Structure 1
């Protein structure tokens, strides 16, 4: 009988990144396929797509045009693709004419708190609730009322959540993690760091994650990061 291999997966992500939830759902499927072979612990880490965004946010179409230079038709095609990918992973993603993009720093502070003080699995549960609040409910993930409700929904203390949000608790820690992963060369999300050594970037299909995780479990430190990157590129 093969022993189950423990595996740490650190996910660098943002709450308003559609590929982050699509990628996570595919990762989740891959881990399920490897049940009994690997024992995965997940921890989420902050990445702000729009660190200078004001609290009121910005119209999403306007933001996409300014940041990425996409035409309205290109933006519509991109949204249609994202919507289809969300359906494929059983996570509906809704866009509308009044969709907005928001600052997520306080969401990351709350997620850091959940990872530090919460029970196992509560940080992931909170992240999923925030993904749903934004992509399915059109809510502002920086709004303290939304964040308080999300914390309560996953069994975290709403009073403690508001205590964190009302001040600057964990702000330094979030900034430090952003800097740490940035210095490590991570400049896009989602990025998955496996066992502190192997980085997998992008929202790959489940079979790609399954192959990569299986290879890491099988070879451990013997596999080279460059070799894994080459295998992922081939897929």
Structure 2
């Protein structure tokens, strides 16, 4: 029996390309019948973001120097891609970016319950589809409880910041590996692929990896 392919994904739930890339990869994994195990790792797109966050469109224009028209065009492109992958991007004029340090801490805790992947998916949906405020600890605890985790425990983890150092150390580790943008996907601990590659490219990568193992 072949060992499952290890896939490490460095990402932030504020990153639309991270969920697009993951959905594309998931389709490729299914199409190729690849046995795999996924490990999610933290990355903060905006570590300096204040607690109250910032309007998403204003943030994108400020950070990347894009015009409102370019920002809208990009949204429409991502929306169409999301629709084709069964994921609903529901931006509006009030959509906000948030600081995700606490989000990564609750994800770290979920890993101790073997539910990190499930919570990661729920958080992408909460942010992009439902427009919920992921900088609010009570919202993070609510989302954890919606997938069957203990709400009080989630709140306690956020209140006492018990996993803050673990998250910081993991973020630093990946930065030291040269990861400066997300999504960053590492196959088999040695093959780094950055950005959302598309189903066809991921399928090709998985096929090549399988051939190398044979």
Alignment check: 8 A CA contact 2:144 2:151 kept: yes
Residue among 100, 104, 112 paired with 2:96: 100
The within-5 A match list for 1:14-93 is 14-35=12-33, 38-93=34-89
The count of aligned residue pairs is 214
Tell me what 2:185 maps to: 192
How far has the Cα of 1:29 moved from its partner? Answer: 0.6
- Structure 1: 5+ residue stretches without partners: 223-235
How far has the Cα of 1:95 moved from its partner? Answer: 1.1
Deviations 1:16-63 (A, max 9, x none): 10000011111111111122xx32111110110000111111111211
Alignment check: 8 A CA contact 1:149 1:158 kept: yes
Taking the aligned partners of 1:16 and 1:195, their CA distance within structure 2 comes to 26
With structure 2 as the length reference, what TM-score do the two structures score? 0.96
How far has the Cα of 1:218 moved from its partner? Answer: 2.1
Alignment check: 8 A CA contact 2:10 2:42 kept: yes
Tell me what 1:159 maps to: 152
How far has the Cα of 1:99 moved from its partner? Answer: 1.0
2:39 alignment partner, SS class? strand
Tell me what 1:225 maps to: none
Alignment check: 8 A CA contact 2:52 2:135 kept: no
Runs of 4+ in 1 over 4 A off after TM superposition: none
Taking the aligned partners of 1:111 and 1:45, their CA distance within structure 2 comes to 9
Taking the aligned partners of 1:39 and 1:150, their CA distance within structure 2 comes to 29
Please provide the CA RMSD for this pair: 1.3
Tell me what 1:139 maps to: 132
2:4 alignment partner, SS class? strand
Taking the aligned partners of 2:3 and 2:208, their CA distance within structure 1 comes to 12
Deviations 1:112-133 (A, max 9, x none): 1111x112xx211101110011
With structure 1 as the length reference, what TM-score do the two structures score? 0.88
1:173 alignment partner, SS class? helix
Taking the aligned partners of 2:74 and 2:11, their CA distance within structure 1 comes to 20
Deviations 1:157-190 (A, max 9, x none): 2121111111111111111111111111111100
Alignment check: 8 A CA contact 1:5 1:217 kept: no
- Structure 2: 5+ residue stretches without partners: none
